[in-house]
Structure 1
């Protein structure tokens, strides 16, 4: 953690000289230049945010201590202390730690999202396989049902025909037995009459 500058009470009209050693500069723009090396310096950007956080804390502390905003001399002291190399290095160290924490948290979230996607994909594949198998079974059951139905119709037709034939044969046998018991000669066709014996019609 960086040691943020603390509010320094200043007498009215007095000027506080900046430290003579270890000071990079005292301007606001110089702090940004020292912390952020280029537009892609994410660590430097986070470090500058930390500096701004400490500046807000300094202003709030001055309000609490004196009931007013910091004057120009007090802000100059704050900026001078913030530009010291140890303070700047502390900001960058904190920024690196925060960046790594953000990256780890982001990767963890990405991994969880990836695992969820994998599980969902596997589940969808399993469901699709089950549905496909069920459809195949339904088609097989329907096909088997058609075969059984057709076979049943054929068997029923055979049984009906067999019953009719059996009934006809039984009836014929029954009639034969009745005729035999009644001594009824079996029906025969009359013998053909020779042509010479045919009666001549009366004229």
Structure 2
């Protein structure tokens, strides 16, 4: 007796690159295996003739459409996951890169500890000097200072 084949593969897969068709066919195969296993757990080994109703049902237009829709949903979920992961990776890279750029910009602008200490000591010295000058001025503002400049006397040597 010649085997009767189900040509559902050609109904689901239109070309080698038809990813949706290949996934739909794997969904069909999964459903067929589950059906056969369920029959076997009942103690029934199916013959090719007993698989005809399953093959007829799975080859119907509504079943073909159902396999394709489920395949599209699987692919859509896969693409969404890949895009989410790619977006997360890109976001992490952008934040990391932004942090690096900001660090290279800000680091030269941040004064060092020793430089701050030197500036503080210098400003304290200048402030103390100004306070001393101001105190000296206030204390001696009524005192007048006479500065006399003497011209040096020239000594002439006796003529010989």
TM class, shorter-chain normalised?
0.5 to 0.7
Q: 1:91, 1:82 → 2: CA distance?
A: 9
Q: Who wins on radius of gyration, i.e. which is larger?
A: 1
Q: 1:106 aligns with which of 60, 82, 95?
A: 82
Q: 1:85 aligns with which of 61, 65, 83?
A: 61
- Larger RCO (CA under 8 A, 6+ residues apart): 1
Q: Provide closer, same or farther for how the CA distance between residues 56 and 132 of structure 1 changes in structure 2, counting only shifts above 3 A.
A: farther
Give 3-state SS (helix, strand or coil) of 1:70's partner.
coil
After TM superposition, the structure 1 = structure 2 runs for residues 13-52 of structure 1, keeping only pairs within 5 Å, are 27-28=5-6, 30-52=7-29
- Measured on the aligned residues, the alpha-carbon RMSD in Å equals 2.6
TM-score, normalised relative to structure 1: 0.49
- Structure 1 segments unaligned to the other structure (5+ residues): 1-25, 149-203
Give 3-state SS (helix, strand or coil) of 2:32's partner.
helix
Instruction: Find runs of 4+ consecutive structure 1 residues off by over 4 angstroms.
Output: none
Deviations 1:166-187 (A, max 9, x none): xxxxxxxxxxxxxxxxxxxxxx
Q: Provide closer, same or farther for how the CA distance between residues 64 and 126 of structure 1 changes in structure 2, counting only shifts above 3 A.
A: same
Alignment length (residue pairs): 116
Q: CA deviation at 1:90?
A: 1.2
TM-score, normalised relative to structure 2: 0.61
Give 3-state SS (helix, strand or coil) of 1:73's partner.
coil
